[in-house]
Amino acid sequence: MKTGKLIVFEGLDGTGKTTQIRRLAQSLEAQGETVFVTAEPTDFPSGKLIRRVLSGEVPSSPWSTAALFLADRIRHCADPENGIAAHLAKGETVITDRYYFSTFAYQGHETDLDWTMRMHYDCPELIRPDLVLFLTMPPEKCMERITAGRPAEAIEIYENTEALAKISRQFDRVFERLKDRENVVYIDADGTVEEVAERVRAALPIIPKGKRHESH
């Protein structure tokens, strides 16, 4: 069965993932590809519950939050109509704004990194990405972008400079651990939209040709 490619964007809040995803989708579509853009937390009920946890409205422990993200991600992959697997099966290119690396970075440092990794890599319904683009930027700069023009009550629990710096270090730890297991490219996101888009385009031929989608 012909399958498309799964591209993951990761990075701290404020690194410009959404803009870069839009740019990449447009440029792939211009080359004739069908692109499905998606994000986590999802719009499924599991993702809506996570948003309420992140805003502080629904109480949760880091362990419980990690498990909620896994549940949401399984649905994200396996939903028969709109799941990642269904789109890949049609030969589409799927781009997701965040994936399991975010759980390793955000929840992994508050719980147990090995546990978060095990529960993902042991789950047969999760799809392995073809390429992970990790957008990097100094946490102070991310924070400036996050807070610009936003009311204080719209700032989520991970959105302060100290928390972002910790998560940034955890992302580095995660990708160091996974360097032989995942296809990760670091993209310097500190630049104009055009400059960063060019760096993203330059990373794309790294996707190994004809790579099959395997479950873990």
- Point out which residues bind ligand TYD (CB under 6 A): 13, 40-41, 54, 69, 97-98, 102-103, 106-107, 156, 158
- Residues whose CB is less than 8 angstroms from the CB of residue 157 and which lie 6 or more positions away in sequence, other chains included: 54, 55, 56, 163
Q: Which lies closer to ligand TYD via its Cβ, residue 22 or residue 211?
A: 22
Smallest distance, Å, CB 136 to ligand TYD? 15
Smallest distance, Å, CB 107 to ligand TYD? 6
- Between CA 117 and CA 175 the distance in angstroms is 12
Q: Which lies closer to ligand TYD via its Cβ, residue 13 or residue 92?
A: 13
Smallest distance, Å, CB 18 to ligand TYD? 7
- Residues whose CB is less than 8 angstroms from the CB of residue 109 and which lie 6 or more positions away in sequence, other chains included: 166, 167, 170
Q: Which lies closer to ligand TYD via its Cβ, residue 166 or residue 211?
A: 166
The CA R_g of the chain, rounded to the nearest whole Å, is: 17
Smallest distance, Å, CB 32 to ligand TYD? 29
Angle at the Cα of 153 (from 155 to 19), degrees rounded to 5?
40
- Between CA 197 and CA 138 the distance in angstroms is 18
- Nearest C-alpha neighbor of 135 from the set 196, 75, 182: 196
Residue nearest to ligand TYD (CB): 106
DSSP state of 160: S
Kindly report the number of other CB atoms within 10 A of residue 113's CB atom: 18
Q: Which lies closer to ligand TYD via its Cβ, residue 32 or residue 104?
A: 104
Smallest distance, Å, CB 113 to ligand TYD? 13
Q: Which lies closer to ligand TYD via its Cβ, residue 158 or residue 186?
A: 158
Smallest distance, Å, CB 108 to ligand TYD? 9
Kindly report the number of other CB atoms within 10 A of residue 3's CB atom: 18
Q: Which lies closer to ligand TYD via its Cβ, residue 18 or residue 34?
A: 18
